[in-house]
Amino acid sequence: MHNIFHISSFKTHTGYVCALNAMYQLFGMPLGEAPVVLVNHALTGNSTVTGIDGWWNSLIGKGKAIDTDVVTVLAIDIPGNGFTNSKDDLIEAYKEFNNSDIARVQKEVLDNLNIDILFAVIGGSLGGQIAWELAIQNPNLIEHLIPVGSDWKATDWVIGQCYIQDAILNNSNTPINDARMHAMTFYRTPASFGHKFARTQRQDDLYNVESWLNHHGQKLSTRFELASYKLMNWLLRSADITKGDMNFDEAVGELTSQIHLIAIDSDGLFLAKEIYDTHIALEKNNKNTSYYEIKSIHGHDAFLIEYDQLETIVKPIFNKLLCHI
């Protein structure tokens, strides 16, 4: 069930002021009776992380790696993601926001719920970027920080892809459809496409890869708002925990979390090497850091496909919790 926390006057990093509705859902144990795990959704995701239509059901639920019989799962919709279908909740001034703003919204929700410690924060892609921001802003808040297929910064490659997405979203006659088709080509890999389609054609002379791209574009067009896509894409390219006015060592200086970095060997968006370099930089700063790598031909989307590997990585982190119950 959706809950609403209304923020009457929120000021972004640019000085833009607006009212926001922060929507959130709770799953598993009642709040206050178990450790809390915050789950951050990706670009087109939402707070329904488990249960009916849950997009991470393979990882979160009764008896799963993140066991809802043991923890309270909190998921907060990124304001403006359009999940509520309320036009009033859409954000048109999307360039006024960045991930540091979204992390501050999350902290306001946490404070309103009287949550002063999180056993873990886990998120894939954009969700992992926001998890990094929340951790840096609140260095003693999170025991286990788990970004999946994500990093603390947007590289030039990520910025470039998002720039093309923004151009499509602002100039195409069918913006959501066309931007989504483009996005699917960098969420996956040539090997993934070859494995899935093998240059096969439909009877109408469309290659099956073309039909698949059309399907994904049309499907997102039916459930996603243009303003939401513009905002989420802008957030993906805005990540930078240093804010441009400090270096990485300074940004992570006070961070006390155990940091579990999960990369994907074929990821063409958040490169495994970049994430491994973050791991090495954290080690040099004497941080408690671990690096894991999902093996897959499917690229960035592997965090939504390779559930067995992801569970194998994540489950031991949460088994530590069972030892203290």
* Predicted pLDDT at 185: 96
Half-sphere exposure of 286 (CA within 13 A, CB side): 3
As a whole number of angstroms, the distance between CA 271 and CA 161 comes to: 14
Instruction: Using DSSP, state whether 120 is helix, strand or coil.
Output: strand
Task: Please list the ranges in the chain whose pLDDT falls under 70.
Answer: 85-86, 322-325
Pick the closest to residue 60 from 263, 322, 307 (CA basis). 307
As a whole number of angstroms, the distance between CA 24 and CA 106 comes to: 10
Residue 300 carries which side chain, given as an amino acid letter? H
Q: Which two tokens stand for residue 101?
A: 């703003």
pTM, full prediction: 0.96
As a whole number of angstroms, the distance between CA 43 and CA 130 comes to: 11
Helix and strand counts by DSSP (H, E) for the chain: 10, 10
Reported as type and span, the H/E element at residue 307 is: helix 307-322
Strand order, beta sheet including 289-294: 3-11, 17-28, 72-76, 36-40, 118-124, 142-148, 258-264, 289-294
Residue 225 carries which side chain, given as an amino acid letter? E
CATH number for the region 3-153+242-322 comes to: 3.40.50.1820
Residue 258 carries which side chain, given as an amino acid letter? Q
Q: In angstroms, what CA-CA distances link 165 with 48, 222, 234?
A: 25, 18, 9
Say if residues 49 and 27 touch (Cβ distance below 8 Å): yes
* Predicted pLDDT at 203: 81
Q: Which two tokens stand for residue 183?
A: 């996005």
Residue 194 carries which side chain, given as an amino acid letter? G
- Ranges for all domains in the chain classified under CATH 3.40.50.1820: 3-153+242-322
* Predicted pLDDT at 169: 98
As a whole number of angstroms, the distance between CA 22 and CA 89 comes to: 9
- Ranges for all domains in the chain classified under CATH 1.10.1740.110: 157-234
DSSP per-residue codes, 221-241: HHH--HHHHHHHHHHHH--BT
* Residue 222 phi, psi (nearest 5): -85, -15
* Predicted pLDDT at 87: 72
As a whole number of angstroms, the distance between CA 58 and CA 305 comes to: 10
CA 13 to chain centre: 20
Annotate 71-100 with b (16+ C-beta within 10 A) or e (fewer).
bbbbbbbbbbbbbbeeeebbbeebebbbbb
As a whole number of angstroms, the distance between CA 73 and CA 83 comes to: 18
* Residue 99 phi, psi (nearest 5): -65, -25
User: pLDDT tens for residues 241-291?
Assistant: 998 889 999 999 999 999 999 999 999 999 999 999 999 999 999 999 999
Secondary structure letter of residue 95 according to DSSP: G
Note the CATH architecture for domain 157-234. Orthogonal Bundle (1.10)
As a whole number of angstroms, the distance between CA 300 and CA 271 comes to: 9
